[in-house]
Amino acid sequence: MKSLCMQRKSIRKFKEDPVSETMERALLESAMQAPSATNQQPWEFIVIRHKGILKELSSVSKGAWPLKGAPFCIVSLMRETGRKSNMRPQDMGASTENILLEATYQGLGGVWIGVYPEEDRIAKIKSILDIDDKLTPFNMIAIGVPEASENTPITRRFDETRIKRID
Ligand SMILES: Cc1cc2nc3c(=O)[nH]c(=O)nc-3n(C[C@H](O)[C@H](O)[C@H](O)COP(=O)(O)O)c2cc1C
């Protein structure tokens, strides 16, 4: 059995099946279990199932189209913590990867749709979701049960030349 890291890949097409609230909770618990600088936990999340809003969000950027067919999406928001401000994006990335790995574990699939630091995308999302000025949209994660056509082999990327050893 391959590890979750080796099973995960981006899923952009989804079945109609809904994602249960138990699964939603597991995704958010894993998100908040991520490591963060000084344990500052700069994250907040908006869970969106509303079809109309998902459609609006799918027009935020060229790569956001998977949201249109997703049953569910998590918008990650980065907030000021008054601590390690410049490390917050790394914290948010760790939290996002936890969501994607948890989705894989649950038999779901998802894709990270990039937002931060693109100012135009941040502004569009703030306006669609009426987000407080203290919060910065970081990314959108489309999640659902993978469509059968997504069942393609995972490309292995291991590259020995990227590794130097100091013994
Ligand atoms: C910062 C970031 C932004 C991304 N933005 C998008 C996006 O806007 N739309 C999309 O379909 N995929 C997006 N992806 C997913 C990448 O395209 C994907 O991870 C990459 O092609 C590797 O494929 P894999 O996830 O299947 O391993 C993004 C990934 C990252 C980490």
**Span 119-156, pLDDT tens digits:** 999 999 999 999 999 999 999 999 999 999 999 999 99
**CA-based R_g, the chain, Å:** 16
Q: Greatest CA separation found in the chain?
A: 56
Nearest Cα residue to atom 21 of ligand 1:
10
What would the mean pLDDT of 33-41 be, rounded to a whole number?
A: 98
Confidence (pTM) = 0.98
Q: What is the residue extent of each domain of the chain?
A: 9-148
Instruction: Using pLDDT thresholds of 50, 70 and 90, give the confidence band for residue 1.
Output: confident
Instruction: Using pLDDT thresholds of 50, 70 and 90, give the confidence band for residue 37.
Output: very high
Task: Say yes or no to pLDDT of 45 above 90.
Answer: yes
What pLDDT, on the 0 to 100 scale, is given for residue 3? 97
CATH architecture of 9-148: 3-Layer(aba) Sandwich (3.40)
Pocket of ligand 1 contains residue 121 by CB under 6 Å: no
pLDDT tens-place string over residues 63-114: 999 999 999 999 999 999 999 999 999 999 999 999 999 999 999 999 999 9
Ligand 1, closest atom to CA 100?
Answer: 25
Pocket of ligand 1 contains residue 12 by CB under 6 Å: yes
b/e 73-93 (16+ beta carbons within 10 angstroms → b): bbbbbbeebeeeeeebeebbb
Task: Report how far residue 78's alpha carbon sits from residue 59's, in angstroms, rounded to the nearest whole number.
Answer: 21
